[in-house]
Structure 1
């Protein structure tokens, strides 16, 4: 007696690139896309982290390759695209997750080189990777792009001026690309609130209970919360959505209506978070 065929998964037959995939949100996104059937090319600066992510993806039955390097290097972005094309013959999905929170501190003390580096990683690199995917595959065959922004881009806050400003620019870039690349390619973003990542540990570890209590959902985010949102946005279930920014923030922006109240110190921890990659 033969077993019945497995039901097709949402992303079967598609190939995805995920940046900043060695940990945190990026790794969770790669694993979620793999569970939905996508083949993966993952990248991050951490060579060992890339190896570990590829091994974890393969252990769950996914087809996965990895390329270590910096998204600030245009040659690396093209290498990632070529590696994906060589492995799978297509690039259907791009998730721009890699980011930097430097320079951290007042803008009046920000060094020009560090300021430019924030925009190179957080704004220019996502554009360049989409350009690579467009030229290699998407320009003729279509696809879906998701950029990982931040709920904090809607606010100003101490010490994260370069990060917040670059992420606000990334939001505009997302909308601009959605307008230019449709109807072949859909481009959306997700904006996480405070998520339990290493990059944001200094925010949530010291006062997780009070921060969580200030949210309508009663908890801070997990990388998987963001990953599931990304998986939905790149799937056909979201085929009529482009140019959108999906808040995945536990209700951060509506917390003022919560009956638990919202002390200023907690407000600041929620508002000026760094969700991390």
Structure 2
């Protein structure tokens, strides 16, 4: 397929896991990409796997750092001349347990990375390109943002905020810019290891499709929302969860 031929995307948190799979899918369908993540070495390795500087550039930095955001946008425009898609994939969840035991500084960090960073990226890309040319934003949320989840309450609250932010931006940036989200359940990545390690079969048994997600499952949904096939879709959150939320669980 070549749905993204001639188009350019920025994908945050793309050195591994879901972000890597999203960038890989977009490149495979013709896009050129700027990928970001904190650690330079694995990020550059990912860019090299995508075809090197003619297809992918790597801009390391902290996703919530405004200077990093500005640099990545500027380097993308310098390298590729346009930005058609922004995928806010970066997320963090450094704590596990009840909210009453949560250090408020950790809560601030979660919201800074999971919510405010996404808004910052949209602001930078919109000012630099989308305002005059249009585009598509896809935010990676979570089913934990749709209903309570044991042990990851603040992460879920941040993803609920991200889902609402998606809807608000969809209204404010229409008609030129579409803004949507995906909400995965447990996907087999290093980030989610604590949720299934040593008990994958038990966790998967709660899903109607009887398996956990893999990064490619999410990448397919993101590619659809970013593509012209979703030209009349905005402000929506596609749940990618193997049917788990149908059973009432998270």
Scaled to the shorter chain, the TM-score interval is: over 0.9
Q: What residue is the counterpart of 1:107 in the other structure?
A: 99
Q: What residue is the counterpart of 1:79 in the other structure?
A: 71
CA distance in 1, matches of 2:102, 2:23: 33
CA distance in 2, matches of 1:246, 1:62: 32
Which digits, 9 at most, give the CA deviation of each residue in 1:79-98, with x for residues without a partner? Answer: 11001110111111000000
Match of 1:235 among 227, 239, 248: 227
1:62 deviates by 6.6
The 5 Å alignment of 1:2-17 reads 9-17=2-10
1:208 deviates by 1.5
Number of residues paired by the alignment? 250
Q: What residue is the counterpart of 1:189 in the other structure?
A: 181
CA distance in 2, matches of 1:88, 1:20: 20
CA distance in 2, matches of 1:112, 1:213: 35
Q: What residue is the counterpart of 1:3 in the other structure?
A: none
Q: What residue is the counterpart of 2:114 in the other structure?
A: 122
Query: Does residue 131 in structure 1 map to residue 120 in structure 2?
Result: no
CA distance in 1, matches of 2:149, 2:31: 38
Q: What residue is the counterpart of 1:222 in the other structure?
A: 214
Task: Report SS of the residue matched to 1:29.
Answer: helix
Q: Give TM-score, length-normalised by structure 2.
A: 0.96
CA distance in 2, matches of 1:153, 1:206: 25
Query: Does residue 30 in structure 1 map to residue 50 in structure 2?
Result: no
Match of 2:149 among 157, 165, 168: 157
Q: What residue is the counterpart of 1:57 in the other structure?
A: 50
Query: Does residue 180 in structure 1 map to residue 172 in structure 2?
Result: yes
The 5 Å alignment of 1:36-51 reads 36-51=29-44
Distance 1:251-1:39 versus aligned 2 partners, 3 A rule? same
1:203 deviates by 1.7
CA distance in 1, matches of 2:28, 2:159: 28
Query: Which ranges of structure 1 fall in alignment gaps of 5 or more residues?
Result: 1-7, 257-266, 272-277
Structure (1 or 2) with the larger CA radius of gyration: 1
Task: Report SS of the residue matched to 1:43.
Answer: strand
CA distance in 1, matches of 2:30, 2:117: 26
Query: Which ranges of structure 2 fall in alignment gaps of 5 or more residues?
Result: none
- Equivalent pair of 1:178/1:242 in contact (CA under 8 Å): yes
CA distance in 1, matches of 2:83, 2:92: 25
